[in-house]
């Protein structure tokens, strides 16, 4: 009874705090501008099914894909055991599924155990890949400090989680001989053998304690994990699904149109709608592009929160490969970090960030004197060749190029800055409608040999 109450309280606290944290993430994503979700829902579901659920794009790199698949499948199937832990915890019963499922129960738990062994192996290999082997994408400048610790912490959590499962199941198997009324006979593929090897010969009271340590340890790790997710790159296990669903369906080569600029140019050229209202000359000048996450779209910020910092984008970026400062992963991480910063500052209610230090702080009046340029240098975005390699590489359809394009648009359109090398290009296009600053006719090639 006491255990049930403790469990219910812990579970409620853990879920409540997780809800609170996830709603902050949601609010941070919605700091972005509205963007309509266009295109057929069937195509979106297909993307989610193939890319997120089916991990299609992971398989461009076989070794990490297979290792990741082991962890992923084990994670998905372990949820069955988690449901049982909840039922057992709340109602103070033991292995409740054994009753209704009967013989099938052994099959399911055995499958989970076998997958858990694979997951254990994969986790150890992942730790080696991150910390022993030199895989360049894990050692870029943006991966120092917290991102590196974050990646390792998750793997360690995973090992603890798995150790708890086997402690729980293994002691259970040994206890079946000592206390067959409570610990009903099972036939688990791994623990049936591992349990007696590890825990055989221990006295009943030690085993009882160890069994509870395994059970509580497992569920505690699950709660810790759940509350750790919103602060971690590991959030991808959830956000990969909405991110693949909401990923833009437009052709990859298409840059998003800016209707406000198009309409202005149209009216300048006398092509506009003659019935359109006169533009308000006193209206404040609009900002074009984005120098902050609040000027980006919620779809961009969702992508940033979905990023698990795997670095596939950076490892194929031609600029990064040749030693330039640009790293698409860093851009994505910066967008997320800035969204976190703004979200936290707005929720602090500190009027220091409001105009004239008064009023209620919101995304509309927020100004902390900082923006994305405090995170991203011009040099980085100037190095982009818009080649779409990063977009192609992302296993969950994040689009770093869209973010870079918006920063470039802000720099040129709103700030009237940018690489001076581009000035002759712009002048030539504007004055001669050509990208080459030459005076000959466009038909000169006909006469040449």
Q: Which residues bind other proteins (CB under 8 A)?
A: 60, 250-255, 257-258, 261-262, 264-266, 269, 271, 288-289, 316, 318-319, 321-326, 379, 382-389, 391-392, 405, 408-413, 418-419, 421-422, 424-426, 429-430, 433-436, 438, 440-446, 448-449
Residue placing its CB nearer to other proteins in the complex, 236 or 382: 382
Nearer to other proteins, 182 or 434 (CB): 434
Least distance to other proteins from the beta carbon of 151, Å? 25
Select 343 or 400, whichever has its Cβ closest to other proteins: 400
Specify the residue, 236 or 410, whose C-beta has the smaller distance to other proteins: 410
CB of 448 to other proteins, least distance (A): 6
Closest CA to 217 of 182, 165, 175: 165
Nearer of residues 61 and 212 to other proteins, judged by Cβ? 61
Cβ(409)–Cβ(290) below 8 Å: yes
Beta-carbon contacts of residue 346 (< 8 Å; ≥ 6 apart)? 31, 353, 361, 362, 363, 366
Structure tokens at 290: 């984005």
What is the Cα–Cα distance from 427 to 429, expressed in whole angstroms? 6
State which residue, 98 or 383, has the beta carbon closest to other proteins: 383
- To other proteins, the closest distance from the beta carbon of 401 in angstroms equals 9
**Cα(316)–Cα(392) distance, integer angstroms:** 9
Nearer to other proteins, 47 or 116 (CB): 47
Cβ distance to other proteins smaller for residue 348 or 386: 386
Query: Between 38 and 282, whose beta carbon lies closer to other proteins?
Result: 38
Residue 175: CB minimum distance to other proteins, A = 54
* 200 vs 424, beta carbon nearer other proteins: 424
Q: Closest separation between CB of residue 432 and other proteins, Å?
A: 9
SS (H, E, C) the chain: CHHHHHHHHHHHHHHHHHHHHHHHHHHHHCCCECCCCCCCHHHHHHHHHHHHHCCHHHHHCHHHHHHHHHHHHHHHHHHHHHHHHHHHHHHCCCCCCHHHHCHHHHHHHHHHHHHHHHHHHHHHHHHHHHHCCCCHHHCCHHHCCHHHHHHHHHHHHHHHHHHHHHHHHHHHHHHHHHCCCCCCCCCCCCHHHHHHHHHCCCCHHHHHHHHHHHHHHHHHHHHHHHHHHHHCHHHHHHHHHHHHHHCCCCCCCCCCCCHHHHHHHHHHCCCCCCCCCCCCCCCCCCCCCCCCHHHCEHHHHHHHHHCCCCCHHHHHCHHHHCCCCCCHHHHHHHHHHHHHHHHHHHHHCCHHHCHHHCCCCCCCCCCCCCCHHHCCCHHHHHCCCCCCHHHHHCCCCCCHHHHHHHHHHHHHHHCCCCCCCHHHHHHHHHHHCCCCCCCCCCCHHHHCC
* Shortest distance (Å) from residue 441 CB to other proteins: 6
Nearer to other proteins, 234 or 406 (CB): 406
Partnered with residue 240 across adjacent β-strands are: none
In angstroms, what is the minimal distance from the CB of 23 to other proteins? 35
Task: Give me the least distance between CB of 65 and other proteins, in Å please.
Answer: 15
From the CB of 412, what's the least distance to other proteins, in Å? 4
Least distance from other proteins to the Cβ atom of residue 311, Å: 15
Name the residue nearer to other proteins (CB basis): 204 or 429.
429
CB of 330 to other proteins, least distance (A): 14
Return the HEC string of 57-116.
HHHHCHHHHHHHHHHHHHHHHHHHHHHHHHHHHHHCCCCCCHHHHCHHHHHHHHHHHHHH
Q: How far is the CB of 134 from other proteins (least distance, A)?
A: 18
């Amino acid at each position: 009874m006491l255990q049930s109450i403790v469990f219910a309280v812990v579970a409620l606290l853990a879920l409540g705090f997780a809800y609170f944290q996830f709603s902050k993430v949601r609010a941070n994503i919605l700091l972005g501008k509205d963007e309509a979700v266009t295109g057929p829902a069937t195509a979106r579901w297909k993307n989610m099914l193939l890319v997120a659920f089916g991990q299609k794009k992971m398989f461009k790199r076989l070794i990490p894909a297979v290792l990741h698949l082991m962890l992923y499948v084990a994670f998905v199937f372990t949820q069955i055991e988690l449901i049982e832990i909840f039922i057992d915890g709340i109602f103070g019963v033991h292995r409740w599924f054994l009753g209704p499922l009967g013989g099938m129960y052994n099959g399911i738990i055995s499958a989970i155990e076998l997958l858990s062994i694979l997951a254990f192996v994969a986790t150890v290999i992942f730790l080696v890949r991150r910390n022993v082997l030199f895989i360049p994408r894990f050692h870029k400048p943006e991966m120092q400090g917290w991102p590196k610790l974050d990646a390792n912490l998750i793997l360690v959590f995973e090992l603890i989680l798995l150790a708890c499962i086997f402690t729980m199941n293994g002691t259970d198997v040994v206890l079946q001989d000592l206390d067959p009324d409570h610990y009903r006979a099972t036939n688990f593929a791994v623990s049936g053998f591992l349990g007696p090897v590890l825990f055989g010969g221990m006295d009943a009271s030690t085993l009882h304690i160890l069994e509870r340590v395994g059970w509580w340890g497992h569920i505690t790790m699950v709660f810790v994990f759940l509350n750790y997710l919103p602060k971690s790159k590991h959030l991808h296990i959830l956000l990969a699904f909405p991110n693949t669903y909401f990923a833009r369906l437009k052709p990859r080569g298409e840059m998003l149109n800016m209707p406000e600029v198009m309409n202005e140019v149209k009216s300048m050229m006398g092509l506009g709608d003659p019935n359109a209202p006169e533009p308000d000359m006193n209206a404040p000048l609009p900002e074009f592009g984005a120098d902050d996450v609040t000027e980006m779209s919620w779809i961009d910020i969702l992508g940033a929160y979905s990023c698990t910092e795997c670095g596939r984008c950076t490892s194929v970026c031609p600029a990064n490969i040749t030693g330039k400062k640009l790293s698409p992963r860093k851009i994505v991480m910066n967008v997320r970090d800035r969204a976190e910063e703004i979200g936290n500052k707005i929720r602090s209610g500190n009027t220091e960030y409001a105009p004239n230090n008064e009023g209620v702080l919101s995304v509309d009046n927020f100004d902390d004197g900082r923006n994305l340029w405090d995170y991203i240098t011009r040099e980085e975005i100037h190095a982009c060749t818009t080649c779409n390699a990063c977009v192609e590489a992302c296993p969950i359809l994040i689009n770093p190029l869209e973010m870079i394009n918006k920063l470039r648009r802000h720099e040129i359109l709103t700030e009237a800055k940018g690489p001076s090398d581009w000035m002759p290009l712009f002048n030539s296009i504007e004055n001669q409608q050509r990208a080459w600053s030459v005076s000959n006719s466009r038909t000169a090639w006909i006469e040449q040999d």
